């Protein structure tokens, strides 16, 4: 498995394919995903790129961190793994926006 990188401060016009193309100059991109808002489908301004080797990932961080794309300086660093185990259930139970308070 490759090394996953966090890419922040993306211009909202950048999608998955543009993100992949930006990083292909640094090596083989296993995956590239811009995170979008679940409700609106718009970019949240960050994403993740997975490079196939640690060396390519290091090269990508060096080349892309601070690089200006569409007027915004990118933040690129190694993605921290999701915490294992019990800490991750925060999003459940919300989302009844205005439906629950019928008296």
pTM surpassing 0.75? yes
Task: Characterise 93 by phi-psi region: left (phi > 0), alpha (psi -120 to 50), beta (else).
Answer: left
Over residues 27-82, the pLDDT tens digits come to 999 999 999 999 999 999 999 999 999 999 999 999 999 999 999 999 999 998 77
Q: Looking at the domain that runs over 3-80, which CATH code has it been given?
A: 3.30.70.330
Q: Is the dihedral of CA 29, 22, 14, 79 positive or negative?
A: positive
């Amino acid at each position: 498995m490759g090394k996953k990188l966090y890419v922040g401060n993306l211009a909202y016009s950048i999608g998955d394919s543009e993100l992949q193309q930006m990083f292909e100059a640094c090596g083989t991109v296993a995956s590239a995903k811009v995170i979008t808002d679940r409700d609106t489908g718009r970019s949240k301004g960050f994403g993740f790129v997975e490079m196939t080797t640690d060396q390519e990932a290091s090269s990508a961080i060096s080349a892309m961190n601070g690089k200006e794309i569409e007027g915004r300086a990118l933040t690129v660093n190694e993605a921290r793994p999701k915490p294992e185990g019990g800490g991750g259930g925060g999003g459940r139970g919300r989302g009844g926006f205005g439906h629950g308070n019928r008296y």
